[in-house]
Amino acid sequence: MYTQNGIGKMRMYDAEPTVLSAFENSGVEIIVGVTNQDIQTLASSEDAAAQWFNTNIKPHYPAANITYISVGNEILPADQVNAPLLFPAMQNLYAAIQVAGLDSEIKVSTAHSMAVLGNSYPPSAGAFSAQVADTMKSILGFLAYTGSPFMINVYPYFSYSSDPKDILLDYALFLPTNPVVDGNLTYNNLFDAMVDAVFSAMGALGSPNVPIVVTESGWPSNGTDDATISNAETYNNNFIQHVLSSAGTPKRPGQSIESFVFAMFNEDQKPGAITEQHFGLFYPDTKLPVYPVNFTLH
């Protein structure tokens, strides 16, 4: 389905061997995930991290085009067990990749939610929360040293749905509306404002040049008044065109932002809010599209 639809990248949240085998020789670039449950093991020693890498990655690489490994997903700030283990786990995994001689090909990072920011508005005042600042400074130094990206999950939907009085729906959907001005920068959509808040936060900790990869973004097609097929189709198509256009953001114009749509399929059995089941672009049973999506720049 990926190659048929012109999708050149995929994010996995684990290292499921049958999936990696299925994507061998496809050319699709893959982010492989270390599960949150495996972080403690990787943090325990370099040998443990090497065993994880040799078991889960080496049998499939380079036939499977693995470009990044994300150590966990959205650990900071809420996961009090894994938060102090996250950076050691990243260091140990990087050491294992170095030993394998693949540190130029496979980069190590970790995916964050926007909850790591203590302030996101205006974008120029973006800052990490005090709770995560020390750990984040270590992670950013590691990313800069290893040439790895900062991974962030960016959802204008959640920002809009939590504050619909102050955020216009059209602004969240990449539709024409009154811009938001921040100093000498003008924002025409919420996504750019959120990403630039992260750039500002990184700069405030002394790492302004680490690139960003948006590891999740999307819009649900059911579950609330604003979670509709029409809005999801509008957001995801406009989002894809925006990140493929190399327009960048007002703070980083002309720089394309490597990005991933969440998710490929609806998740009918996922617990929680109804919206959580309806972020998919395709139905899991029929593999038919929930709505039309253009994955190529036009």
- The pLDDT-based confidence of 298 (bands split at 50, 70, 90) is confident
Q: How confident is the model at residue 292 (pLDDT cuts 50, 70, 90)?
A: very high
At residue 197, the pLDDT reads: 98
Q: Residue 193: pLDDT above 90?
A: yes
| pLDDT cut 70: percent of the chain above it | 100
What distance in Å separates the CA atoms of residue 285 and residue 12, rounded to the nearest whole number?
Answer: 19
User: Among residues 24, 29, 46, 74, which one is catalytic?
Assistant: 74
pTM comes to 0.98
What mean pLDDT is predicted for residues 81-105?
A: 98
Q: Of 97, 26, 85, whose CA–CA distance to 56 is shortest?
A: 97
Whole-number pLDDT of residue 190: 98
173-185 exposure pattern, b = at least 16 Cβ within 10 A, e = fewer: bbeeeeebebeeb
Phi, psi of 182 (to 5 degrees): -130, 95
Asked if 243 and 256 count as a contact pair (C-beta separation under 8 A), the reply is yes
Q: Looking at residue 223, what is its pLDDT?
A: 97
The tokens describing 262, both together, are 């969440």
- In 10 A of CB 30, how many CB atoms? 22
Q: Are 102 and 32 in contact (CB under 8 A)?
A: no
Tell me the C-alpha distance between 85 and 90, whole Å: 9
pLDDT at 98 > cutoff 90: yes
List the beta bridge partners of residue 28.
Answer: none
Position 191 scores a pLDDT of 98
pLDDT of 174 reads 98
Q: Is 29 a catalytic residue?
A: no
Give the single-character DSSP code of 213: E
pLDDT tens-digit profile of 3-55? 899 999 999 999 999 999 999 999 999 999 999 999 999 999 999 999 999 99
User: How buried is residue 170: exposed, middle or buried, by Cβ count under 10 Å (0-12/13-18/19+)?
Assistant: middle
What is the mean pLDDT of the segment spanning 95-123?
Answer: 98
The DSSP 8-state label assigned to residue 37 in this structure reads: G
Neighbour count for residue 248 (Cβ, 10 Å):
17
Amino acid at 236: N
The reply to whether 24 belongs to the active site is no
pLDDT digits (tens, 9 = 90+) for 216-262: 999 999 999 999 999 999 999 999 999 999 899 999 999 889 999 99
Considering the candidates 216, 233, 258, 276, report the single residue annotated as catalytic: 216
Which of 36, 146, 13 has the alpha carbon at shortest distance from 91? Answer: 146
What would the pLDDT profile of 128-180 be if each residue is shown by its tens digit?
999 999 999 999 999 999 999 999 999 999 999 999 999 999 999 999 999 99
pLDDT score for 114: 98
Which of 130, 86, 133, 91 lies closest to 111, judged by CA?
86
